[in-house]
Structure 1
Amino acid sequence: MGVLDNPLYRPVLEAIRSSRNGIVYGGKLRFSHALVMNILYRSGPPGPRLKSVLRATKDHAEVLAAFAFLYKVIVSVLRHEKLMGPRRLALIKFIAGSFSSWIVYSQHFNVFHPGITHQVTLYCFSRVAIAVGKILLDKYLDCAQPVFQTASGDLIPFGDLKSSQQNKLRSNIYNKSWKYFAVLVWGLVMLIYDYQPQYLQSSLRHSMAYIYDVDLEHWPTWRDFFGY
C-alpha cells in the first residue's frame, strides 16, 4: 500500500491538496484582477507594475492556501473520537473555520497581507448575509406556516402549497430581498464615498474615483473626452 492509498496519511494529504487548490485559485483570481487594476489605474514602467501584480498574486494565494491547510488539519484533529467525534461535524467545521480565520484573516498576527484578508472577508460577508437571510426565511415559512393567497383567491397555509408554488413564492421573496439589499448597499457606498472615502477598501475607492469623479477632469478636445 502506497502513501496515497494509506488511510493513515489521508488527512494530511487532504490538507496539502486543499492548500494547493487555494494557491491555484488565489493565483488565477488575483493575477487577472491585479493585472486589470494596474492597466486601468496605474502608470509607470512595466517592470515595477508587473512585480506588483506578481506580489499581489503571491499574497492572495498564500492567504487562501494557509486558511485551507489550517482548516483541513483542525477538522481532521477534532473529528477524532477522543475529542469531538464525527457526529458533531457542523460544530467542528464552525470551530475550525473560526480558529483558522483568527490565524489568517483577523490580522492578529500581522503575517498575511491585510488588504487581501480584508477584501476576502468582506466578499464572504456579503454572501453570508444573503445566505443567512434565506435560511431565516425558510425556517420561518416552515415553522410559522403563514397563510398565502393563491391565484384563484384561496387562502392556503404555506405547508399545503404545491412544491412548485412554494418554490415560486420563495423566489419572489428572495428577489424582493435582493432589491432592498442592493438599494441599501449602493446608497451607503455612495454616501460613504462622498462623506469619508478613506474608510472604503482601496481598490473599490480607486475604481469609484475613476468612474465617478469626472467633474474633476478637463477635456480640451473630443479625442481627450473619448480617451484615444
Structure 2
Amino acid sequence: MSSILTNPLYRPLLEIVKSARNGIVYGGKIRFSHALVINLLYRSGPPLPRLREILQATKNHAEVLAGFAIIYKICCKILASDSFLGPKNGRLIKFLSGAFGSWIVYSQHFGYFHPGITHQITLYCFSRVLIAVGKILLDSYLGHAQPQFKNYNGNIILFKDLTPNQQKKLKSAIYNRSWKYFAVFTWALVMLIYDYQPQYLQSSLRHSMAYIYDVEMDTWSTWKDFIGL
C-alpha cells in the first residue's frame, strides 16, 4: 500500500481523496459545534431527535465541503492537462474550476446539497472576498498610482519612497479605517432589515437576533427566571 502513496501515477487521485477527506473533517468539526450550540439554545424536546438533527446537520456540512473539494480538484486536473490552457494558466484554471464546482454545489441549481448550509457558507465567503478584493485594489492603487503623502515633518513624499515599515503602517491604517466603515454600515443595515423585513434574513441570524434583542415583552418574576436557570 505504501507504494501506491509514493507512485506518481496515483498522485492526482490521492490529492482528490485527501481534499475530500479534509473537507469532511473540517465540515464535521465546524458544523457539529455550531449545531450543538444552536440546538441547545433554540430547540426543546427529547434528546434523541435533537441529537439526530445535530448529526444530520454535521453530515450535510461535511458533504458540501467534500463535494466541492472533489469537483474542484478534478476540474483543476482536467484543465491543467488541456493543451490550450495548460499549467501556465494556473489562476484561470482555478477560477474556472471554482466556478464550475460552485455551480454544482453552492448555486442550488441541482438541489444535491443542503440549501441552508450552501447559503451560509457562500455568504460567509462573500464577506471575506469583499474585504480581500478591497485590499488587493488598494495595494494595486498604491503600487501603480504612487500617491503623495505627508511625512511627520510635513514634507510631501511618494508612496514608493516610504520605507517598508512605513508602507506597512500606512496600509494597516487604511485597512482599519475601511473596516470601521464596513462594520458600521453592515450592522446598521442588519438592524434596519431585522426591524423592517426580518423574514429576508438568514434563519439562524434571525433567531439569534430575536433571542438577544427582542426582550421588551419578556417578564421575570424571579432572578432565576431573569438569568435563565
Q: TM-score, normalised by structure 2?
A: 0.97
Alignment partner, residue 214 of structure 2? 213
Unmatched tracts of structure 1, length 5 or more: none
* Counterpart code for 1:220: S
Alignment partner, residue 27 of structure 1? 28
Alignment partner, residue 79 of structure 1? 80
Alignment partner, residue 195 of structure 1? 196
* Counterpart code for 1:195: Y
| 2:149 alignment partner, SS class | strand
Alignment partner, residue 96 of structure 1? 97
User: How far apart are 1:226 and its partner, in Å?
Assistant: 1.5
* Counterpart code for 1:105: Y
| 2:98 alignment partner, SS class | helix
Alignment partner, residue 108 of structure 1? 109
| 2:220 alignment partner, SS class | coil
User: How far apart in 1 are the matches of 2:84 and 2:227?
Assistant: 65
* Counterpart code for 2:65: L
User: How far apart in 1 are the matches of 2:77 and 2:3?
Assistant: 20
Alignment partner, residue 7 of structure 1? 8
Unmatched tracts of structure 2, length 5 or more: none
Alignment partner, residue 61 of structure 2? 60
User: How far apart in 2 are the matches of 1:85 and 1:150?
Assistant: 47
User: How far apart in 2 are the matches of 1:196 and 1:220?
Assistant: 32
1:152-204: per-residue Cα shift (whole Å, max 9, x none)? 11110101111110000000000000000000000011011111111111111
**1:86-165 correspondence to structure 2 within 5 Å:** 86-165=87-166
User: How far apart in 2 are the matches of 1:63 and 1:50?
Assistant: 20
User: How far apart in 2 are the matches of 1:154 and 1:42?
Assistant: 63
User: How far apart are 1:136 and its partner, in Å?
Assistant: 0.3
Number of positions where the alignment pairs a residue of Structure 1 with one of Structure 2? 228
**Larger RCO: Structure 1 or Structure 2 (Cα < 8 Å, ≥ 6 residues apart)?**
1
User: How far apart are 1:81 and its partner, in Å?
Assistant: 4.6
Q: Which runs of 4+ in 1 moved over 4 A?
A: none
User: How far apart in 2 are the matches of 1:81 and 1:128?
Assistant: 28
User: How far apart in 2 are the matches of 1:39 and 1:81?
Assistant: 51
User: How far apart in 2 are the matches of 1:9 and 1:121?
Assistant: 32
Identity of aligned residues (%): 68
Q: TM-score, normalised by structure 1?
A: 0.98
